[in-house]
Each structure stands twice: as structure tokens, then as C-alpha cells.
Amino acid sequence: MKKAAVIGFPVKHSWSPIIHNYWIKEHGIFGEYEKIEVHPSDLKSLIITKKKQGFSGLNITIPHKEKATEICDELSESARVLQAVNLIIFKNNIIYGDNTDGDGFVESFKKDFPDINLSSLRIGILGAGGAAKSIALSLSKENPNKISIFNRNIERAEKLIEKVNLPAAEPFYIDDINLKKFSIDLLINATPVGMAGMTDINFINFKNIKGIKFFADIVYNPENTESMILARSQNIKTMGGLGMLLYQAIPSFESFFGVRPEVSNGLKQHILEHIGRVK
């Protein structure tokens, strides 16, 4: 039997088992995907144990993404730049670390807007945390017209630009987004503002952003955030975070179980029913 798991601390919030077990069933695979809670002090021994037990690999979630890089024998280019992994594969006796979050965002955008070329866009990212960093890295490979990073802590935005090596990017305070001086085609919310249980303070005044055409929120619970609803009321096209969550899981599933799965409407429906249950 092929086995894989997501490890985190805590891990009960993780939706990875729902996604992977849906695909296991869909493809009739003799496999199992579980969630394992592991304290940071046990991270290394747990990873080595799972390798010895013949697991195909692991997904890594909060708070282990950075620490797990130290346990890997090899890192992909994105994992090396980001110094964070969300995927570990055991192959040829090697522990290989990868980061698929940002590519999940780009894939999701391309599926939702197949006629839009990211290279023609001026992009603004709200947030400079782990998710913002991986999205910025993946977007940079698409050569966008311009990237601006807006964050409460501006030093973190500066560090992101330096680390991801975005020469033409600029850092700003998050509140500056409302200063009526920015021309942005695609604005991305990569902060948790809007998440279920967190007040959506409607911090974006879309009317102040010149030329805005797309708003992407990587929050996936709720499916439609207040900001997305507001954007749509002003004829701005929107994308929620569910697509990113599902597309980032594709390379993991393929490495673990040897089949490249699809993000189908059936899977989306399955997840949305789950959102209904956890609200």
C-alpha cells in the first residue's frame, strides 16, 4: 500500500486528507493519506521514521515548513529560495523537499482566466508572509509588468523582495493601497484578513486603485470573502483561495501515488460541502 501524510502542529485543521483521500478513491488507488500531529522537537525523528516505514512522502504544514528544510538532503529551486517546504518526497533513499504553494496560485489563475497573460499585468500583493513569498516567486517566473508588495511590517516586504530577487518590485505599507496613487491590474490578498472567524475590515477601497481588473483572495474559508463580494459589485473579476489549495496538492499526489489528478467540479463540490460543515 502507498502511504503519505500531512504533518503539522496542530494539524486537525488541515484539509489535505480530504483532498488526497478524494483522489485516492476516485482513482481506485490502494493507498492511504493521514494527518499526523508532531511537536517541533520530534520533527526530525518523525520524518526519518516515516521514511523507514516506506511512506512515499509527506506534506508539511504550520509550523514546520522552514525547519523541515534542514532535514532534507536536497531542495528544489523554489524550496531553496523560500527556505520553506510544503512537500517532502522519499526517493532513492533521499529526502527531497519542494514548495508548490505559489505554483498552485499561478495554475489556479491560469485555469480561471485562460485568456490573460500574467506578463502583461501590474500586480499588487497584500502581505509578505509565507504564502505571499511563494506566490511572488512563482509570479516572478511569469515576468509580470510590475510587482508591488504591501505589508503592515514594511521591513518584511523589503526582505521578501530581496529574498525572492524581484529587482523591479517595490515595498509599501499596507494602508498605502488606498492612497489613490497605484495602478494595479491584479490585486492579491495574501493576508488572513477575511478568514472565517476574523473580522473582514474591508480594508481595500477598490475605487482608489487605478485600472484594477482582477482581485484574488487566497483565503478559502469562506469561499467568497467580503472583499471578493465588494470587488465583484464594482465589476472586478475575482478568484478565491480554493483553487490554489487544490492545485498546490496536484504535484504532491502525483509524487505520492503515481497518478496526476485533476481539479474537478466534483472535488470542488466535495470541499465546499466540507466548508459548510466546518463554518
Residues at the interface with ligand NAP (CB under 6 A):
101, 104, 127-132, 151-153, 156, 174, 190-193, 195, 218-220, 241, 244-245, 248
Q: State in angstroms the smallest separation of the CB of 29 from ligand NAP.
A: 23
Q: State in angstroms the smallest separation of the CB of 72 from ligand NAP.
A: 19
How many residues in the chain?
A: 279
Q: State in angstroms the smallest separation of the CB of 52 from ligand NAP.
A: 30
Report the residue number, 89 or 244, with the smaller CB distance to ligand NAP.
244
Q: State in angstroms the smallest separation of the CB of 100 from ligand NAP.
A: 10
Report the residue number, 121 or 125, with the smaller CB distance to ligand NAP.
125
Report the residue number, 127 or 144, with the smaller CB distance to ligand NAP.
127
Report the residue number, 74 or 142, with the smaller CB distance to ligand NAP.
142
Contacts of 105 (CB under 8 A, 6+ apart): 134, 135, 138, 139, 188, 216, 218, 244, 247, 248
State the catalytic residue, choosing from 3, 65, 110, 181. 65
Cα atoms found within 13 Å of the Cα of residue 276, Cβ hemisphere only: 6
Which DSSP string corresponds to the chain? Answer: -EEEEEEESS-TT--HHHHHHHHHHHTT-SEEEEEEE--GGGHHHHHHHHHHTT--EEEE-TT-TTGGGGG-SEE-HHHHHHT--SEEEEETTEEEEE--HHHHHHHHHHHH-TT--GGG-EEEEE--SHHHHHHHHHHHTT--SEEEEEESSHHHHHHHHHHHT-TT-EEEEGGGGGSS--B-SEEEE-SSTT-TTS-------GGGSBT--EEEE---SSSS-HHHHHHHHTT-EEE-SHHHHHHTHHHHHHHHHS------HHHHHHHHHHHHHH-
Report the residue number, 119 or 153, with the smaller CB distance to ligand NAP.
153
Cα–chain center distance at 89: 18
Q: Which residue is at the shortest CB distance from ligand NAP?
A: 129
Q: State in angstroms the smallest separation of the CB of 128 from ligand NAP.
A: 4
Active site residue 141: no
Report the residue number, 141 or 152, with the smaller CB distance to ligand NAP.
152
Q: State in angstroms the smallest separation of the CB of 124 from ligand NAP.
A: 13
Question: Which residues are known to be catalytic?
Answer: 65
